[in-house]
C-alpha cells in the first residue's frame, strides 16, 4: 500500500484575508453601532451621566433610530481600518510562520498587532473623523450642528470647508490608539484562545471567551488615548491638539480619561467577539467550499 500523502495546509489568499477581515468588522458594526454612539456622547460630555441615562436622552430627544446615526461612517471605517489591520496582521502572521517556522509567541503577536494597527488606523482616519462628528452632532445646539447627510457628504464637506488634510485630524492619537488596541486585542485574543483550548469547546464558545478577555484588556489599555482622539477630532476649527489634552486634564482630571468605561467595553467586547466570530465563520465557509 503506497504511503498516504500528508494533508495539504489550509490556505486563504491574501486578498480574501483582507476582504474577510473588513466584512467581519462591518457585520459586527451593524450590531454595536448604538453602543459606539453612546460611548462617543459620554466621552464628549462634561457630566457624569450613566450610559443608560445617555441612551434614554438620545431616544427621547432625537428618536430611537438616532442610535444608528453615523452607521455609514462606521461601516466605511470598518471597510478601511479593519480590512487593513486584520489583513496586514494575518499576512504578517503567516509570513512569520513561513520564514521562522512555528507559531509566534505572545511578544511577536503583540508586535505584529502594533504594526497592523498603525497601518489600518492611518488608512481609516478619514472615516473615523466623519464617524466622531456624525455621532456627536446630536448633542450640539441646532444652529451649531453640521448635519452631515452620510459619510460621503461628511468627507466631501470637510474637504471643501476645511481642506483635505483635516480628514487626518487626530491621526497621531488615532494611530497610537490603534497600536495599543491591536497589541492588546490581537495579541491577547490569540493567547487567550490558546489558554481556553481544551477547557472550552471549540467553535463559537471558544471565540466568545477569548474575545471577552481580549476586549477587557484592550479597554483598560486604550481608553485614555481613545478619549483624547475623540475630543481632538470633534474640536472646533482652530483649536490645537495640545489645548484639547490640557483642557481635559485641567478641567476634568486624570480619571476622566476612563469616562464611559462600561459602554466602551460593552461596545468593544461584543464587537471583538462578533468580528472574530464572523471572521472564523467566513474562513470556515471558504475551507468548506474551496
Domain boundaries, the chain: 14-284
> How confident is the model over 44-74, as pLDDT tens digits?
776 667 788 888 999 998 999 999 999 999 9
Kindly tell me if the per-residue pLDDT of 10 is higher than 70.
no
pTM confidence score: 0.71
The grid coordinates listed for 250 are: 485641567
Residue with cell 486563504: 12
- Cβ atoms of 213 and 185 within 8 Å: the answer is no
Other C-beta atoms closer than 10 Å to the C-beta of 140 total 14
- Cβ atoms of 114 and 179 within 8 Å: the answer is yes
The percentage of residues in the chain with a pLDDT greater than 70, rounded to a whole number, is 94
The grid coordinates listed for 145 are: 450642528
CATH number belonging to domain 14-284? 1.50.40.10
Between the ranges 2-11, 80-89, 122-131, where is the mean pLDDT highest?
Answer: 122-131
> How confident is the model over 210-240, as pLDDT tens digits?
878 888 888 888 888 888 888 888 776 667 7
d(CA 215, CA 211) in angstroms, rounded, equals: 6
Label residue 3 by pLDDT band (50, 70, 90): very low
| Helix pair 106-136, 171-196: axis angle to 10 deg | 130
**CA-only gyration radius of the chain, Å:** 20
d(CA 181, CA 222) in angstroms, rounded, equals: 6
d(CA 131, CA 230) in angstroms, rounded, equals: 10
Kindly tell me if the per-residue pLDDT of 2 is higher than 80.
no
Kindly tell me if the per-residue pLDDT of 7 is higher than 80.
no
Whole-number pLDDT of residue 249:
84
144 alpha carbon, distance to own chain's centre: 28
Amino acid at each position: 500500500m503506497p504511503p498516504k500523502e500528508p494533508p495539504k495546509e489550509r490556505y486563504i489568499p491574501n486578498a480574501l484575508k483582507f476582504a474577510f477581515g473588513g466584512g467581519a468588522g462591518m457585520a459586527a458594526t451593524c450590531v454595536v453601532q448604538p453602543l459606539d454612539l453612546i460611548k462617543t456622547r459620554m466621552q464628549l460630555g462634561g457630566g457624569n451621566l450613566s450610559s443608560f441615562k445617555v441612551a434614554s436622552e438620545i431616544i427621547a430627544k432625537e428618536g430611537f433610530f438616532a442610535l444608528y446615526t453615523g452607521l455609514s461612517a462606521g461601516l466605511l471605517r470598518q471597510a478601511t481600518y479593519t480590512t487593513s489591520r486584520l489583513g496586514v496582521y494575518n499576512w504578517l502572521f503567516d509570513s512569520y510562520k513561513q520564514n521562522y517556522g512555528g507559531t509566534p509567541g505572545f511578544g511577536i503577536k503583540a508586535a505584529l498587532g502594533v504594526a497592523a494597527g498603525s497601518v489600518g488606523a492611518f488608512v481609516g482616519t478619514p472615516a473615523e473623523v466623519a464617524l466622531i462628528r456624525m455621532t456627536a452632532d446630536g448633542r450640539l445646539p441646532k444652529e451649531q450642528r453640521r448635519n452631515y447627510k452620510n459619510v460621503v457628504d461628511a468627507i466631501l464637506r470637510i474637504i471643501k470647508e476645511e481642506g483635505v488634510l483635516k480628514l487626518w485630524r487626530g491621526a497621531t492619537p488615532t494611530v497610537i490608539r490603534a497600536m495599543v488596541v491591536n497589541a492588546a486585542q490581537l495579541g491577547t485574543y490569540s493567547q487567550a484562545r490558546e489558554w481556553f483550548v481544551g477547557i472550552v469547546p471549540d467553535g463559537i464558545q471558544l471565540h466568545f471567551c477569548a474575545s471577552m478577555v481580549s476586549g477587557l484588556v484592550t479597554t483598560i489599555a486604550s481608553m485614555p488615548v481613545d478619549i483624547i482622539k475623540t475630543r481632538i477630532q470633534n474640536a472646533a476649527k482652530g483649536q490645537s491638539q495640545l489645548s484639547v489634552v490640557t483642557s481635559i486634564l485641567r478641567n476634568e482630571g486624570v480619571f476622566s480619561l476612563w469616562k464611559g468605561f462600561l459602554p466602551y467595553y460593552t461596545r468593544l467586547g461584543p464587537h471583538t467577539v462578533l468580528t472574530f466570530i464572523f471572521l472564523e465563520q467566513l474562513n470556515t465557509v471558504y475551507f468548506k467550499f474551496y
